[in-house]
C-alpha cells in the first residue's frame, strides 16, 4: 500500500478521540465511529476544545484548527470504513467485542487495508485470529493522554506481514509519535514494566500506611515521575488498570501482575478515577 490517506478510528473515548485528534492535526482525513451520534459529538467537542486551547496558547493558527476539526467525519456505521487505508480500534478492552469488531472490519474493509488495535494488554494475535487476514493486523498501542504522550508501540503479532507492520510504523511517525517496534508478548514493552510497578505502588499504600498524596509526592520528588502513581492510575482509569493487570496476570502468573484488592474494590464501587470524578482523588 502507498501512503495512508484515510484513517478510521473505532471508539471515540479518551484514547480514540486522542488518536483521531493526532490524525486530523497531521492532515489526515479521519472517519470516527461511535455507537451513538451524541457520543460522536462529545468526542468532536473534546477534540475541538483541546485544539482551541492550542490556538489560545499560540501553538496553532485558528484556520489550521478549523481545518483539522473539518477533517473528522463522524459515523455510527462501520460500513463508513470501506475506503479507509488504516483502521485503528480503540473500543472496550475485552477480547469478545474486539474479535467481533475485527470480523466485521474484515468483511467491510478493502483487502489491502491495515487493521490496528490499540489494546493495552490483550493478545493482538488472538484479536487478529477473528479475521481472514491476520497478516494485515497489527497493534498500535498509544499512551494516555494520546495527544501528549510521545510513544506508540507498533506490535507485530504472530502472523503480521512486513508491509502492514512498516505502514503502521511509518504512520505513527507521521502523526508525530515516536514509534518503537515490538512483538506480541503480554504487556508489550511499557505495560510489562509499568503495570506491576504501579501495582507495587498501591501495595505500598497499604503496607506503609503512607497517604496517596504523600506517595505521589514521594515518587514525583524522589524518583522524578511527572505524575504520582495514584494520579496516574486515576488518569488511566482504575477499571482499565485492573483489567490490564488481570490480563497480564492471566498470561504470566506473576503475583505482582495481579490487581491489588484495593483497586478491585474501587473499580467495583465505581471509583474509576478522573472519568467518574472520583478515584484516589476527587475532580470537579
Contacts with ligand 3HC, residue ranges (CB under 6 A): 18, 50, 53, 120, 143-145, 147-149, 191, 194, 226-227, 232, 236, 240, 244
Active site residue 191: yes
Closer to ligand 3HC by Cβ: residue 78 or 244: 244
Q: How far is CA 97 from CA 10, 65, 113, 146, 185, in A?
A: 12, 34, 20, 22, 21
| CB 232, min distance to ligand 3HC, A | 5
- H helices of 11-61, where? 14-25, 37-56
Closer to ligand 3HC by Cβ: residue 7 or 113: 7
Catalytic residue, from 25, 89, 123, 141: name it: 141
Residues 143 and 190: beta-carbon distance below 8 Å: yes
126 three-class SS: helix
Closer to ligand 3HC by Cβ: residue 37 or 227: 227
Measured distance CA(56)–CA(46) in Å, rounded: 15
Residues 272 and 237: beta-carbon distance below 8 Å: yes
Closer to ligand 3HC by Cβ: residue 7 or 14: 14
| CB 244, min distance to ligand 3HC, A | 6
Active site residue 129: no
Catalytic residue, from 118, 123, 191, 245: name it: 191
At CA 158, angle to CA 112 and CA 180, rounded to 5? 80
Relative to beta strand 151-156, strand 178-183 is parallel
Catalytic residue, from 34, 89, 120, 245: name it: 120
Neighbours of 145 (CB within 10 A): 15
Active site residue 243: no
| CB 204, min distance to ligand 3HC, A | 18
**Crossing angle of the two packed helices 229-236 and 238-252, in degrees rounded to 10:** 100
Active site residue 120: yes
DSSP string, 193-260: HHHHHHHHHHHHHHHH---HHHHHHHHHHHH--SS-HHHHHHHH-HHHHHHHHHHHHHHH--GGGSPP
| CB 119, min distance to ligand 3HC, A | 8
Catalytic residue, from 25, 34, 93, 153: name it: 153
Closer to ligand 3HC by Cβ: residue 20 or 31: 20
| CB 174, min distance to ligand 3HC, A | 18
- Active-site positions read 120, 141, 153, 191
Amino acid at each position: 500500500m502507498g501512503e495512508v490517506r484515510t484513517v478510521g478510528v473505532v471508539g471515540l473515548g479518551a484514547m480514540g478521540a486522542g488518536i483521531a485528534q493526532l490524525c486530523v492535526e497531521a492532515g489526515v482525513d479521519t472517519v470516527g465511529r461511535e455507537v451513538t451520534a451524541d457520543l460522536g459529538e462529545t468526542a468532536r467537542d473534546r477534540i475541538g476544545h483541546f485544539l482551541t486551547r492550542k490556538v489560545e496558547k499560540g501553538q496553532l493558527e485558528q484556520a489550521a484548527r478549523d481545518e483539522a476539526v473539518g477533517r473528522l467525519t463522524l459515523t455510527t456505521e462501520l460500513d463508513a470504513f470501506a475506503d479507509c487505508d488504516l483502521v485503528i480500534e480503540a473500543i472496550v478492552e475485552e477480547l469478545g467485542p474486539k474479535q467481533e469488531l475485527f470480523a466485521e472490519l474484515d468483511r467491510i474493509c478493502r483487502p489491502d487495508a491495515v487493521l490496528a488495535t490499540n489494546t493495552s494488554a490483550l493478545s493482538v494475535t488472538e484479536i487478529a485470529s477473528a479475521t481472514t487476514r491476520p497478516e494485515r493486523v497489527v497493534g498500535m498501542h498509544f499512551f494516555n493522554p494520546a495527544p501528549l504522550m510521545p510513544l506508540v508501540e507498533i506490535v507485530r503479532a504472530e502472523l503480521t506481514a512486513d508491509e502492514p507492520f512498516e505502514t503502521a510504523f511509518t504512520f505513527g511517525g507521521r502523526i508525530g509519535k515516536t514509534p518503537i517496534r515490538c512483538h506480541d508478548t503480554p504487556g508489550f514493552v511499557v505495560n510489562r514494566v509499568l503495570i506491576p510497578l504501579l501495582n507495587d505502588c498501591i501495595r505500598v499504600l497499604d503496607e506503609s500506611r503512607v497517604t496517596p498524596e504523600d506517595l505521589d509526592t514521594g515518587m514525583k520528588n524522589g524518583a522524578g515521575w511527572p505524575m504520582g502513581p495514584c494520579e496516574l492510575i486515576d488518569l488511566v482509569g482504575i477499571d482499565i488498570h485492573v483489567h490490564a493487570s488481570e490480563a497480564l496476570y492471566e498470561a504470566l502468573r506473576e503475583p505482582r501482575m495481579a490487581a491489588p484488592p484495593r483497586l478491585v474494590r474501587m473499580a467495583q464501587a465505581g471509583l474509576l478515577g478522573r472519568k467518574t470524578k472520583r478515584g484516589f482523588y476527587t475532580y470537579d
